[in-house]
Amino acid sequence: MLAILDYKAGNQTSVARALKFLNIPCIITESSVAVASARGIIFPGVGAAGQAMQNLQATGMGDVLTEAISRGTPVLGICLGCQIMLEMSEENNTRTLGIVPGKCVAFDPGWVEAAGERIRVPHMGWNSLKIVRPSPLFNGIEPDAQFYFVHSYYPCPAAEFVLATTCYGREFCSVYGKDALWAVQFHPEKSGRPGLKLLRNFYDYCVEGKNAE
Amino acid sequence: MLSKRIVLCLDVRDGKLTKGVKFAGNVDIGDPVESARRYSDGGADEIVFYDITASAERRGIFLDVVEKVAGQVFVPLCVGGGLSHIDDLDAVLQAGAEKVSLNTAAVKNPDLIAEGASRYGSQAIVVGMDVLKVPTSAVFPSGYQIYINGGRTPVELDALAWARKCQELGAGELCINSIDADGTLDGYELNLNALIADAVNIPIIASGGAGNPGHIHEVLTKGKASAALLASIVHYGQYTIRQLKEYAAERGVPVRLSW
């Protein structure tokens, strides 16, 4: 069973729909008991960092998450969930969970894409990954696979945690990881077949543990 | 590099798929759930459902369609048509859409854009604009006028000024539908799309007029659109999405070719 953390910030049901389609058992929950017994945790999120942090504090889900991580439960952060596992976000200068060193930074609308067009913010649409370090998350994902992104800020973790980058005007970190924790800036639940594969890989890791590597 | 998107538009009436030409003479051509799955498997980067159900009491059928699609199709879904209250937005987003497209309601009540953006985030709010070319005047300095009610009712609103206003209110994207080009298969209104794309920093989806692969290539380059919205050209089997994308890719446009 995977626990999808419910802290009143967005796309929990989209993630649950994708897992259901994959026949992966999951529960959208705000119960610390359910989280404690889960094989893995999905930490989604849509919206603003400040509001999300308030919700995490109000629901107690922030502590539940950090405790589960310290017990070694695998975690997959998605989009805003990816951003707020870092130490701070430039979005309203918000202090975030600080599980992985680094911060979340705003796109600079002055950046220019290879074709000469200035970037539009949010970065919205399909883009590819350049894999920097191998990870069980990437098993069986083709090199030209693209994923669906929607965001105005991007994660900037300490270099040693970067697993993949994406280019939008400049290269930014789109996947990072630390031990059994992973974070993706894109939406795997909306990224067609490669996205579903990534969710499947995460679940396989949760079930099979390090043997999956 | 960010891919330019091919967005498939499905008009739905009473839970069934239709496609109109110049906003009139719709005919049923299939099951929306099946079509959405087929287009997603065929490489559509995004799917828009436009609800043209006339009666409010039949909207439940439409929400069922959205929910079924969201359980089987894992690319972004946008829903438009008849959304006029924040509760309507809530219903379609709960049903599994990522985005809503506001049109007439946004013109009548621009606060709905701001309210939607603050509640769901800008990424969830698309403003659809039906635009007609008019002589340049003091009222319409850009030479483009906004129409509402499915392109039937003109309003005293300059398209360029309205586009800027939508961005300011928090819209995350603009879908520019040229009434002149819609259903003609003669190509998108390039000037209109480029004009608006230059005036705002949010992505533009060009709509209306796609008849061949060259038109799509053109609007994604000269027209400066981030996405091209298609219907007839694909609905009637004239081209596959892959053919259209490969044509653009061969000419240097970044598109998603693996799915």
Q: Say what the pLDDT of residue B128 is.
A: 97
Catalytic residue among B88, B130, B158, B182: B130
Catalytic residue among A26, A79, A82, A104: A79
Contact B3 A195 (CB under 8 A): no
pLDDT per residue as tens digits for the range B146-182: 999 989 999 999 999 999 999 999 999 999 999 999 9
pLDDT per residue as tens digits for the range A56-86: 999 899 999 999 999 999 999 999 999 999 9
| B11 has catalytic annotation | yes
Considering the four listed CATH numbers 3.20.20.70, 3.30.40.10, 2.60.40.2310, 2.60.120.260, the one that applies to the domain covering B5-125+163-250 is: 3.20.20.70
**Does the CB of A23 have a partner CB in chain B at under 8 Å?**
no
Report, as an integer, the average pLDDT of A29-39: 92
Q: Say what the pLDDT of residue B233 is.
A: 86
Query: Could you state, in order of their start, the residue ranges of all structural domains in chain A?
Result: 2-212
Quickly tell me which residue has 């883009």 as its tokens.
Answer: A127
Contact A21 B72 (CB under 8 A): yes
Long-range contacts formed by B162-169: CB under 8 A, 24+ apart: B162/B107, B162/B129, B163/B129, B163/B196, B163/B199, B163/B200, B164/B199, B164/B200, B165/B110, B166/B106, B166/B110, B166/B113, B166/B127, B166/B129, B166/B200, B167/B200, B167/B201, B167/B202, B169/B110, B169/B111, B169/B113, B169/B114, B169/B117
Of the candidate ranges A6-20, A131-145, B103-117, the one whose mean pLDDT is the lowest? A6-20
Q: Say what the pLDDT of residue A165 is.
A: 98
Q: Please tell me which residue of chain A has the smallest CA distance to B75.
A: A190
Q: Which residues of B touch A123 (CB under 8 A)?
A: 2
For domain A2-212, the CATH superfamily is Class I glutamine amidotransferase (GATase) domain (3.40.50.880)
How many helices (H) does chain A have, and how many strands (E)?
A: 6, 14
Task: Note the ipTM here.
Answer: 0.93
Nearest by Cα to B73 from B49, B51, B54, B47: B47
Residue B252 has pLDDT above 90, yes or no: yes
Of A14, A121, A168, the CB nearest to B201: A121
Indicate the pTM of the whole model: 0.94
Q: Please tell me which residue of chain B has the smallest CA distance to A151.
A: B123
Q: Say what the pLDDT of residue B129 is.
A: 97
Residue B21 has pLDDT above 50, yes or no: no
Q: Say what the pLDDT of residue A210 is.
A: 54
Q: Say what the pLDDT of residue B26 is.
A: 44
Q: Say what the pLDDT of residue A209 is.
A: 72
**Does the CB of A140 have a partner CB in chain B at under 8 Å?**
no
The nearest CA of chain B is from the CA of A50 a distance in Å of 13
